[in-house]
Structure 1
Amino acid sequence: MIIDSLSGSKDNTVRVWDVDNNKQIQSFDGHSSSVHCVKFSSYHYHNHRQNVICSSSDKAIRFWDFKHNKRLQIFNGHTGAIYGIEFSQFNGGRYLCSGSYDKTIRLWDVETSKSLHVFNGHKRAICNNKNDNNNNKMNNIGVIGGNGYTICSGSWDKTIRIWDIETTKQFN
């Protein structure tokens, strides 16, 4: 079985799909509000486990073991909807960035389940999607991600900020 796809929905669910057979193979309903971002966990993949991570308007990030339909971890700390999540490209994806409506980016340690730092500086929400009804496509107007030891964040405040993970300072 090749699992190619994940989906998150306004019905508060996360679904795992086997694209080869056009079948849903798992559904998770632990969020209490819309799910905005869903990914396979690169950290758990490197440790020979297949887990799904998702963020939601309920202000939580959840990890699921989709083979056993079991919730593993919950990250709490944001005070607004979480629109973007991205694993680090170093240390086997051990670190996770999350961008929120609360105007902050958080850096998490997936192994210890701890929030390592909160990056402040945006005046409006981080990483939101806008639906363009003319072509029915989703347009990402903010980005959160890592390249080496940096985080890039975009916001409704019309700024892009780049942060150094090691010093926790913003580049000018």
Structure 2
Amino acid sequence: MDIQFVLDHMIESFEYGILKQQNNLIVKYGQNELMNTILSGSRDKSVRLWDIRSGEQVQLFNGHYNCVYAVEYSPFAIKNSIGNSNVICSGSYDNTIRFWDIRSNKNELYIIKGDEKEDDGIFCLKFIVLKKKENTKNVTYDLNLCYGSIKGPIRIWG
């Protein structure tokens, strides 16, 4: 089950203990996919991966130029034989969506830039499966990333 908490103030505690980060805005919990981890996005422009058993930070991702409003576990895997995702993504008021490999805290894997005229920061993210429109008997599906901006438009990338 995914649970997202949007907070206007810093996180003081969580069910499993205290997270040692201030100014969190977003928390995304993923139970099985990434072995009991929490993602957080922050006013300090960072994305952090936490181990909920120990309450310790596992990874730190820097690259956004403004507050991070959305974090999401991506269904994509890169060279991962287990089949679990090792990619996360984050959306920011800097009007970008950034993809990160959780195996390292180096630079982002990929950046999607929001529309410069109609968007004013990325506010939410969600991966969805959509049925392809084709005139064949075979039904196929595509994975798409939906995101919403501060100004309101919802966009589909994929």
C-alpha distance in 2, partners of 1:71/1:83?
Answer: 19
C-alpha distance in 1, partners of 2:17/2:87?
Answer: 26
The 3-state SS of whatever aligns with 2:59 is strand
The amino acid of 1:65's aligned partner reads D
* The one of 113, 126, 140 aligned to 1:145: 126
**How far 1:79 moved relative to its partner?**
0.5
Relative to structure 1, the CA distance from residue 118 to residue 29 in structure 2 (aligned partners, 3 Å threshold; closer, same or farther) is same
Relative to structure 1, the CA distance from residue 7 to residue 86 in structure 2 (aligned partners, 3 Å threshold; closer, same or farther) is closer
Tell me, which stretches of 5 or more residues in structure 2 are unaligned? 78-83, 130-142
Relative to structure 1, the CA distance from residue 71 to residue 155 in structure 2 (aligned partners, 3 Å threshold; closer, same or farther) is same
Q: Kindly indicate whether the alpha-carbon contact (under 8 Å) linking 1:12 and 1:29 is maintained by their aligned counterparts in 2.
A: no
Relative to structure 1, the CA distance from residue 157 to residue 11 in structure 2 (aligned partners, 3 Å threshold; closer, same or farther) is closer
The C-alpha deviation readout for 1:100-148, integer Å capped at 9, x for no partner, is 0001111112233341111113331111xxxxxxxxxxxxxxx312235
The amino acid of 2:25's aligned partner reads H
The 3-state SS of whatever aligns with 2:18 is strand
Relative to structure 1, the CA distance from residue 8 to residue 26 in structure 2 (aligned partners, 3 Å threshold; closer, same or farther) is farther
**Are residue 26 (structure 1) and residue 22 (structure 2) matched?**
no
Tell me, which stretches of 5 or more residues in structure 1 are unaligned? 18-24, 128-142, 165-172
Q: Kindly indicate whether the alpha-carbon contact (under 8 Å) linking 1:37 and 1:83 is maintained by their aligned counterparts in 2.
A: yes
The C-alpha deviation readout for 1:141-166, integer Å capped at 9, x for no partner, is xx3122354211111244322223xx
* The one of 44, 48, 71 aligned to 1:85: 71
The amino acid of 1:30's aligned partner reads Q
The answer for the alignment partner of 1:56 in structure 2 is 42
C-alpha distance in 2, partners of 1:84/1:122?
Answer: 17
**How far 1:72 moved relative to its partner?**
0.9
The 3-state SS of whatever aligns with 1:30 is coil
Runs ≥4 residues deviating over 6 A: none
**How far 1:9 moved relative to its partner?**
4.4
Cα RMSD (Å):
2.6
* The one of 19, 26, 43 aligned to 1:37: 26
**How far 1:95 moved relative to its partner?**
1.8
* The one of 84, 87, 94 aligned to 1:95: 87
The answer for the alignment partner of 1:140 in structure 2 is none
The answer for the alignment partner of 2:155 in structure 1 is 161
Q: Sequence identity of aligned pairs in percent?
A: 30
C-alpha distance in 2, partners of 1:7/1:155?
Answer: 18
- TM-score, normalisation: structure 2: 0.70
